Amino acid sequence: MSLSLTDLPQRVLQRLSVIEIGGSVEADHSALVSSAYQEVYYGLVDEGLIEWSDSEAIPDKRALAMIALTADQVKFDFQVPPDVRQEVGAQAAGAVAFLRRKATNAANRQKSVPFLDY
């Protein structure tokens, strides 16, 4: 199962404690989070860290990273307590490191090893 782009704003706002779990997202908040996701997405594409299209759902193994990065992008747009802002910032830094490791591992798997016949 993956994270749909429709569900992303709710997950980001829950992470920021802006809404309760299961709470509804206002349309303008949804648009703000979706726009921030696009900025994060294309920044990561430029770094070669994304392997899905901007219209596809976020793969499960990348969902928490993208929630953290998007939340970090919008944390000053909402009344988010300083401790939550700090925690989200730390998670975003960890998310970038995670995505870089995954990209490096994928690149290493693609390298071919010559076969030697003894």
Q: Residues 34-49: pLDDT tens digits?
A: 999 999 999 999 999 9
Structural domain contains residue 114: no
Structural domain contains residue 118: no
How many folded domains does the chain comprise? 1
Q: Range of 84's domain? A: 8-107
Residues β-bridged to residue 3:
58
Give mean pLDDT, residues 4-28: 95
Structural domain contains residue 91: yes
pLDDT digits (tens, 9 = 90+) for 82-99: 999 999 999 999 999 999
Tokens representing 62? Answer: 């990348």
Rounded to whole angstroms, what are the CA distances from 97 to 49, 55, 84, 91? Answer: 10, 24, 20, 10
pLDDT at 5 over 60: yes
